[in-house]
Amino acid sequence: MSEFGERIVPGFASSFEGEHLVSERSEFQQIEIYQNASFGRMLVLDGLIQTTERDEFIYHEMLVHVPLLSLETPRSVLIIGGGDGGTLRRVLEHPVERAVMVEIDRRVTDLCKEWMPSIAGSAFEDPRAEVMFGDGIVFVKETGETFDAIFIDSSDPVGPGEGLFTTEFYEAASKRLNPRGMLAAQSGSPAFQQGELHRTYSHARSVFQNTQEYLCLVPTYPGAIWSIVVAGDRFTIDSKVAEQRARDRKLDVRYWTPAIQRGAFDLPAFVHDVIAPDGPPHTWGPSPAEDERTEIPRG
Amino acid sequence: MSEFGERIVPGFASSFEGEHLVSERSEFQQIEIYQNASFGRMLVLDGLIQTTERDEFIYHEMLVHVPLLSLETPRSVLIIGGGDGGTLRRVLEHPVERAVMVEIDRRVTDLCKEWMPSIAGSAFEDPRAEVMFGDGIVFVKETGETFDAIFIDSSDPVGPGEGLFTTEFYEAASKRLNPRGMLAAQSGSPAFQQGELHRTYSHARSVFQNTQEYLCLVPTYPGAIWSIVVAGDRFTIDSKVAEQRARDRKLDVRYWTPAIQRGAFDLPAFVHDVIAPDGPPHTWGPSPAEDERTEIPRG
């Protein structure tokens, strides 16, 4: 049995044990997969927990369904990252004609297919899916294609994911969106990564006409409260419309409900402060160390 | 520097470090207070984290303000537990005439006053507060007084708090409520204590005409998603009414907003399943071990 976990902020860590199934250094990062008694298989990249078999549904449903249910006919979708296939699977529950996924690290996808196949289900075999391995930033700059939705399903803005959180990237992505298209990206913990959330939201707001932030709850992420930014020039998110569409599209949901979607945009008072133009105010939490989340050294 | 934390479910623990300021065995429980780099002073009872200086505001605002803002004239309030004074402080922000607090362990209050005075603020000195040390269950059975609201601000249903989660206790408490009175109690983690949440909700529903569940987010609690049950025979929770009253009462809030209150009652799909009469369904999370949260043994 191995011990692993994350140093979340100074003096606070999560700690897991599990059977160490995979330990591999890829071209891009250190990849680990563990078998945990409570969460099933867990994917850990560079020491940070990315997804688990038991709670992946929360993040993936909220990342994908909220934007796609606001589109009447989402035809083409681009996913940057998302190597485990969970985002792709939810995208394909919608009536899309084409879902392009650009993952930087082929080994993540290969190992997830082998060890955590329940997350992608049959998504990788779907004829509407086109999976490429390469740099999503380069793809977005070079492709001539446009999409109805772009999902940034990346690790944090350190390591391979860094360039996906910049104004420059959002500008390039905005040119690849159809007129009513939307971009959605994870934007970190509103409790423990306030600087990251503030910057991600500010960068999106500087590029798009309409930028909104919503929350979901992932028990295995540090602090469990997770934020997602959704941005575009013309879109309306309406939970009544979403309810009807979810029924029409026969979505298989375990976290998402119309009311949860509506409530997800109602931010706690301190989160409003974090995304305010002059935020974050550092009135809560460990501000000086907010971006220092790192792997716990283990003996 | 000492290490402490909770085993949340098998294979998953939270891990903190801090300067160990207080370690005392009271008549009822083991009391520890630590100084943590990120959360300030932390109160730990029998190995379980109860509150921290940095995030106490979330739980206390949500426990107290949601019920009291639904009452036009909350005059008398009973608090069972709440030794740190955070609940009392929020109660006294409302125009109550009398707030009775019955804490079982005088040492918890004494030590919180000494080491974590910011949590109670000046609440213990407020002439409207009457603080007693004794068994809340006995008090509720024996008092002839009735209240507009009763808050159960206890530790989990193991140890001293056990009897506060039973149908018998809710029946006794219901007799001490005024006609439009409300009881509110923490009901555990919807992710990791599904059995506890199911039972608490079911017990309340068997006694009261109107039982509702809502959620708040406490980063230092296991899984961070925390549930609160509110019950009574005749009450209406309306976020528009609450908004006006919060303004009239000049509440000092950092988490609560009218929209947060509204959204807090919108439960994720899996939480609806947990509180359903035939729940919890064990479709998520580590069902067999859900009630086994225990202290991590440390070397």
Where in chain B are the domains?
A: 2-53, 56-289
Whether chain B has a CB inside 8 Å of the CB on A197: the answer is no
> How many CA atoms does the CB half-sphere of A10 hold within 13 Å?
14
pLDDT of A158 above 80 = no
Q: Which helix (DSSP H) or strand (DSSP E) does residue A148 occupy?
A: strand A147-153
B11/A17 CB distance under 8 A: yes
Token couple for B99:
């707030």
- Which residues on B lie below 8 Å from A191 (Cβ)? 55, 219
Helices (H), B28-166: 56-68, 86-91, 106-115, 117-120, 136-142
Rounded to whole angstroms, how far apart are CA atoms B225 and A49? 18
CATH 2.30.140.10 fits B2-53, yes or no: yes
Is the CB of residue B59 less than 8 Å away from at least one CB of chain A? Answer: no
Interface mutation vs chain B, best among A12, A214, A220, most B CBs within 10 Å: A12
B218/B189 Cα distance (integer angstroms): 10
Give the model's pLDDT for residue A294. 36
Residue type, B52: T
Give CA–CA dist B223/B240, Å, rounded.
30
- Dump the DSSP string for B78-95: EEEE-TTSHHHHHHTTS-
**Cβ contact (<8 Å) for B224 and A219?**
yes
> Residue A182 is which amino acid?
M
What are the pLDDT digits (tens) for A229-270?
999 999 999 999 999 999 999 999 999 999 999 999 999 888
Q: Does A281 touch chain B (CB under 8 A)?
A: no
pLDDT surpasses 80 at A283: no
C-alpha distance from B86 to closest chain A C-alpha (Å): 17
Structural fold of domain A2-52: Spermidine Synthase; Chain: A, domain 2 (2.30.140)
pLDDT, position B159: 65
Closest-CA residue of chain A to B13: A15
Confidence at residue B162, expressed as pLDDT on a 0 to 100 scale: 79
Q: Which residues of chain B have pLDDT under 70?
A: 157-160, 280-299
Q: For A286, which residue in chain B has the nearest alpha carbon? A: B38
Closest CA to A293 of A5, A70, A29: A5
C-alpha–C-alpha distance, residues B156 and B6, integer Å: 13
A54 to chain B, any CB pair closer than 8 A? The answer is yes
Of B224, B269, B289, the CB nearest to A256: B269
Angstrom distance (rounded) from CA A66 to CA B115: 45
Among residues of chain A, what percentage have pLDDT more than 70? 92
Inform me whether the C-beta atom of residue B194 falls under 8 Å from chain A C-beta atoms.
Answer: no
> Cβ separation of A38 and B217 shorter than 8 Å?
no
Residue identified by tokens 């708090």 is B161
What is the separation of C-alpha B146 from the centre of its chain, rounded to a whole number of angstroms? 21
pLDDT score for B19: 96
Q: Which residues of B touch A254 (CB under 8 A)?
A: 268-270, 283-284
The string of DSSP letters for B11-23 reads TEEEEEEEEEEEE
Strand partners, A12: A9, B16
Q: Which pLDDT tens digit goes with each residue over B192-228?
A: 888 889 999 999 999 999 999 999 988 888 778 899 9
What is the ipTM metric for this complex? 0.77
What is the model's pLDDT at position B105? 96
* Inter-chain Cβ pairs, chain A and chain B, closer than 8 A: 155
Enumerate the residues of chain B whose CB falls inside 8 A of the CB of residue A17.
11
Q: How far apart are CA A274 and CA A285, in angstroms?
A: 11
Residue A298 predicted with pLDDT over 50 = no
Amino acid in the structure at residue A59: Y
CATH superfamily for B56-289 is Vaccinia Virus protein VP39 (3.40.50.150)
Q: How far apart are CA A75 and CA A98, in angstroms?
A: 6
Q: What is the pLDDT of residue B285?
A: 46
CATH tag, A56-288: 3.40.50.150
What pLDDT, on a 0 to 100 scale, did the predictor assign at position A299? Answer: 29
What is the pLDDT at residue B290?
37
Is the CB of residue A286 less than 8 Å away from at least one CB of chain B?
A: yes
Q: Do A46 and A155 touch, CB atoms closer than 8 A?
A: yes
